[in-house]
């Protein structure tokens, strides 16, 4: 029942990748002290990291009610709302997170995705353009800028962003598929073949690559 010792133990579990034990420990703390600030945040972060956003959401909300109003808490609260498809609620939270940390690119990426889901392509691209200026090595943003350009029939311009995404993260087949497809659409068969050949080397058992 030593709360301080349990809190330290939970942090050690979290930092060494023992998520299940971290969750059990932080939950035990909150049974003893329901308004324990750090246990509330740490438990929420554990749920968020494993994609359990329905569990994380009320914990992040409670953390803000306890006065732990920081960029990390607001960003992850917005992320939970986004992943639960509660876009109208996520938008102002992500905007406020960005205001707390103006150099953070991640809120801009998700704000762009929210506007993209509403078919507001230009606004989405503006957010992504700001994000990639803050963090050039952001493959998801470069990919989405390519998507926005291709959707608006600017395939040649899209190639540069698809190429950046692939250079920055070669583990996602969709980056190969879009870049190779863009080359093919422009009649550049040799370039397309090179991209799909690289994809096949990386994903030899993937039917789409063949």
Sign of CA dihedral 184, 189, 190, 194: positive
- Rounded Cα–Cα distance for residues 61 and 164 (Å): 37
Is 46:23 a contact under the CB 8 Å cutoff? yes
Is 33:39 a contact under the CB 8 Å cutoff? yes
Global pTM reads 0.91
pLDDT one-digit tens code per residue, 12-40: 999 999 999 999 999 999 999 999 999 99
- Rounded Cα–Cα distance for residues 210 and 181 (Å): 14
pLDDT one-digit tens code per residue, 157-202: 999 999 999 999 999 999 999 999 999 999 999 999 999 999 999 9
Phi, psi at residue 205, to the nearest 5°? -105, 10
Is 136:105 a contact under the CB 8 Å cutoff? no
pLDDT one-digit tens code per residue, 36-90: 999 999 999 999 999 999 999 999 999 999 999 899 999 999 999 999 999 999 9
């Amino acid at each position: 029942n030593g709360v301080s010792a349990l809190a330290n133990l939970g942090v050690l579990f979290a930092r060494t990748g023992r998520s299940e034990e971290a969750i059990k420990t932080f939950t035990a703390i909150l049974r003893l002290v329901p308004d324990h600030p750090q246990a509330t945040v740490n438990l929420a972060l554990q749920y968020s990291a494993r994609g359990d956003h329905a569990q994380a959401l009320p914990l992040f909300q409670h953390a803000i009610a306890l006065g732990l109003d920081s960029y990390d808490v607001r960003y992850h609260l917005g992320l939970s709302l986004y992943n639960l498809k509660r876009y109208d609620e996520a938008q102002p939270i992500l905007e406020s997170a960005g205001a707390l940390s103006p150099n953070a690119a991640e809120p801009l990426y998700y704000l762009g995705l929210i506007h993209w889901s509403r078919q507001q392509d230009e606004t989405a691209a503006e957010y992504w353009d700001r994000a990639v200026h803050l963090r050039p090595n952001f493959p998801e943003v470069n990919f989405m800028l390519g998507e926005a350009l291709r959707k608006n029939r600017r395939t040649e311009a899209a190639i540069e962003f698809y190429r950046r995404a692939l250079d920055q993260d070669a583990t996602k087949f969709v980056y190969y598929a879009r870049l190779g497809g863009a080359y093919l659409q422009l009649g550049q068969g040799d370039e397309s073949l090179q991209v799909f050949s690289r994809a096949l080397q990386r994903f030899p058992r993937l039917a789409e690559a063949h």
